[in-house]
Structure 1
């Protein structure tokens, strides 16, 4: 039970201090579950984030659920997900009441603009990390990186197909998965 409570506490902290949600939360989750607690490897974390993006629901909730399953099965998933969500619900209720009362304040609007900028930076950081892991198997840029040119080609191709021909992204994801299965099996 100790590890499950620790899992819940870690995701409670993540849920509490994740401003921006979605992709902005990925570096925070990675720092906790990969670097600090070593619950999953970087590659497993990348796989979990990928699966979390393909399943319905918020990225942070899906990621906490999948990591909880990896660590402690169904109970781990329930506790990790609850930890991730509880603080967000409480903070949302408090912020709703606060903003309802102070909706005309220019200072509050400026604070929100600052939070938007920091969220954008976190999203860019998460995207760079995921792309580097997918294309080179590392998080840091170096001269000795070995690029996976097939992964780069699939990424560029899918990007073009979605943007130019407006094909349903789910069909493109399935096609890319099939290509990956054939190439990497």
Structure 2
């Protein structure tokens, strides 16, 4: 299982461009296909990974690895997701300045940008639908209220630090789903 964690996360790290958020669809597909977690678990992993310090992709790989095989699983998944980037960036750093003005390199990079945006948008939609929609109907009204409040705060106070938004989201989640749930039974 430990080698399998390493291999799966190595593949995820190797074939995902655009950072941690772009990895979400591939992480979801791989983790579910190996029966390591459910969609609900993955959403919880994403929330925890986003709420803890460090790069998102490393956090989620470590969390999933630890959840399946403890410390060794965490180390295998983390090494697997990091190693492709490390190898690729070492190669690129060696040759980038020689090729940065090459029209073919520029064309490849220009082609990758829309794919990265599309992958991130797909991840956002998947997470949104998983959290707020069940069987084609909106079911998580409290979550939508929290989302709207956070979005309004972010638009009103553009320089508000993301950590503050995460803390406020956690506090509202605790209040709306906990002590104040009787006020918002939907």
Q: Distance in 2 between matches of 1:20 and 1:76?
A: 25
Change (3 A) 1:100 1:165: closer
1:157 aligns with 2:157: no
Corresponding residue number in structure 2 for 1:145: 137
Residue-pair matches, total: 177
Backbone CA RMSD of aligned residues = 1.5
1:175 aligns with 2:168: yes
- Deviations along 1:27-78, one digit per CA (max 9) or x if unpaired, are 01100001x1010111110011111112222211111000011101111101
Corresponding residue number in structure 1 for 2:181: none
What are structure 2's unaligned runs of at least 5 residues? 179-186
Q: Distance in 2 between matches of 1:170 and 1:153?
A: 19
Shift of 1:81: 0.1
- Deviations along 1:107-149, one digit per CA (max 9) or x if unpaired, are 2101101011111100000000111112125xxxx6x424311
Q: Distance in 1 between matches of 2:122 and 2:84?
A: 24
**Equivalences for residues 59-138 of structure 1 within 5 A:** 59-137=56-134
Change (3 A) 1:65 1:106: same
What are structure 1's unaligned runs of at least 5 residues? none
Q: Deviation above 6 Å: which 4+ runs of structure 1? A: none
- Deviations along 1:84-129, one digit per CA (max 9) or x if unpaired, are 1111100111122232221221121011010111111000000001
SS state at 2:137 partner = coil
Q: After the TM superposition, which of the residue ranges 79-88 and 51-60 deviates more from structure 2?
A: 51-60
